[in-house]
Chain A
Amino acid sequence: MSPAEIRLTDLTVSHARRPAVHHLSGRFAPGSLTAVVGPNGAGKSTLLRALAGLHRPDAGRIEGAAGQIALLPQATALDRAFPIGCLDVVLFGLWGGSGAFRAISRAGRERARAALVAVGLEGFERRPVGSLSVGQFQRVLFARLLLQDAPVILLDEPFNALDARTAADLLAMVHRWHGEGRTVVAVLHDLEMVRREFPQALLLARDCLGWGPTAEVLTAANRLRARMMAEAWAAEPEPCERRDAA
Chain B
Amino acid sequence: MGCLALSVAAPPLGVFLMLRRMSLTADVLGHGILPGVAAGFLLAGLSLPAMAAGGLAAGLAVAVGAGALSRATGGREDASLAALYLVALASGVAMVSWRGGAVELTNLLFGSVLGVDDAALLLMAGSATVTLAVLALAWRPLVLECFDPGFARAVGARGALWHMAFLALVVLNLIAAFQALGTLMAVGLMMLPAIAARHWARQVGGMAYASVAIALASAWGGLLLSFHADVPSGPAVVLAAGAAWLVSTLLGPVDGLLARLWRRPHLAG
Q: List B contacts of A77 (CB < 8 A).
A: 150
Which of the candidate stretches A29-37, A78-86, A183-191, A193-201 sits at the interface with the other chain? A78-86
Q: Judge if A92 is at the interface, Cβ distance under 8 Å.
A: yes
Measured between alpha carbons, how far is A83 from B16 in the docked complex, in Å?
A: 11
Of B150, B153, B154, B157, most A-chain CB atoms within 10 Å = B154
Contact with A along B188-211 (1 / 0, CB 8 A): 000000000010011110010000
Known: A78-B148, A92-B148, A100-B138. A84 touches B155 (CB 8 A): no
Against B, the Cβ 8 Å flags (1 = close, 0 = not) of A115-131 are: 00000000000001000
Q: Is A85 a contact partner of B153 (Cβ separation < 8 A)?
A: no
The 7 A-B pairs with the shortest beta carbon distances in the complex, nearest first, are: A100-B141, A95-B155, A82-B147, A128-B202, A83-B203, A71-B154, A52-B154
Q: How far is the CA of A88 from the CA of B148 in the complex (A)?
A: 12
CB distance from B51 to the nearest CB of A (A): 34
- Judged by a CB distance under 8 angstroms, whether A240 is at the interface is no
Within 8 A of B (CB), among A59-99: 69-71, 73, 77-79, 82-85, 88-89, 92, 95-96, 98
- CB within 8 Å of B: which of A18-52? 52
Q: For the side of the interface on B, what is the size category?
A: 20 to 34
Q: Which chain A residues lie closer than 8 Å to B201 at the CB level?
A: 83
> Is B53 interfacial (CB 8 A cutoff)?
no
Which residues of chain A have C-beta atoms less than 8 A from B146's C-beta? 82
Contacts of A148 in B (CB 8 A): 155
B268 CB within 8 Å of chain A: no
**Contact in complex: B144, A54 (CB < 8 Å):** no
Given contacts A82-B19, A95-B155, contact A101 B137 (CB under 8 A): yes
Taking A52-B154, A71-B154, A95-B157 as contacts, is the C-beta distance between A85 and B203 under 8 angstroms?
A: yes
Task: Tell me, yes or no, whether A53 is within 8 Å of chain B by CB.
Answer: yes
**Which chain B positions have C-beta within 8 A of A52?**
154
Determine the residue in chain A with the shortest Cβ distance to B150.
A73
B157 and A100 contact, CB distance less than 8 A? yes
Residues of B within 8 A of A84 (CB): 143, 147, 203-204
Within A120-151, which residues are at the interface with B (CB < 8 Å)?
128, 148
Does B140 interact with chain A (Cβ within 8 Å)?
yes
| A78 CA / B151 CA spacing, docked (Å) | 10
Q: What are 17 A-B residue pairs whose CB atoms fall within 8 Å in the complex?
A: A54-B153, A71-B154, A73-B150, A77-B150, A79-B147, A82-B19, A82-B147, A83-B198, A83-B201, A83-B204, A85-B203, A92-B148, A95-B155, A96-B155, A100-B138, A101-B137, A101-B140
- Contact size range, A: 20 to 34
| Docked pose: A74 CA to B190 CA in angstroms | 34
Give the secondary structure class of A's interface: mixed
Report the Cα distance A71→B151, complex, angstroms.
Answer: 8
> Is B147 a contact of A53 with CB atoms below 8 Å?
no
B130 to chain A, nearest CB (A): 17
Q: Known A-B contacts: A69-B154, A88-B203, A101-B140. Give 4 more (CB < 8 A).
A: A71-B154, A73-B150, A78-B147, A84-B204
Distance to closest chain A CB from B221 (angstroms): 26
Contacts of A92 on B, CB cut-off 8 Å?
144, 147-148, 151, 155
Q: CB < 8 Å: which of A53, A78, A83, A88 contacts B154?
A: A53
Q: Which of A218-241 contact B (CB under 8 A)?
A: none
Are A83 and B19 closer than 8 Å at their CB atoms? yes
- B243 nearest CB across to chain A (Å): 24
Write out, one digit per residue, whether chain B residues 139-172 have a CB within 8 A of any chain A CB (1) or not (0).
Answer: 0110110111011011101000010000000000
CA distance A100 to B203 in the complex (A): 19
User: Which residues of A lie under 8 Å from residue B202 when comparing CB positions?
Assistant: 83, 128
CA distance A246 to B32 in the complex (A): 53
Q: Which residues of chain B have C-beta atoms less than 8 A from A54's C-beta? A: 150, 153-154
* Cα(A98)–Cα(B143), bound, Å: 15
Which residues of A lie under 8 Å from residue B198 when comparing CB positions? 83
Checking A70, A71, A89 against B147 with a beta-carbon cut-off of 8 angstroms, the contacting residue is A89
In the bound complex, residues from chain B placing their C-beta under 8 Å from that of A95 are 144, 155, 157
Give the shortest distance, in Å, between B147 (CB) and chain A (any CB): 5
* Alpha-carbon gap, A26 to B144, bound state (A): 34
Q: Are B154 and A100 in contact (CB under 8 A)?
A: no
Q: Which residues of the partner chain A approach B143 to less than 8 Å between Cβ atoms? A: 84, 88
Residues of B within 8 A of A82 (CB): 19, 146-147
**Chain A residues with Cβ under 8 A from B141's Cβ?**
100
Whole-angstrom CA separation of A85 from B153 in the bound complex: 21
Residues of A within 8 A of B19 (CB): 82-83
A95–B141 Cα distance when bound, in Å, is 9
Residues on A with C-beta less than 8 A from B154 are 52-54, 69-71
B148 nearest in chain A by CB position: A78
**Whole-angstrom CA separation of A92 from B198 in the bound complex:** 23
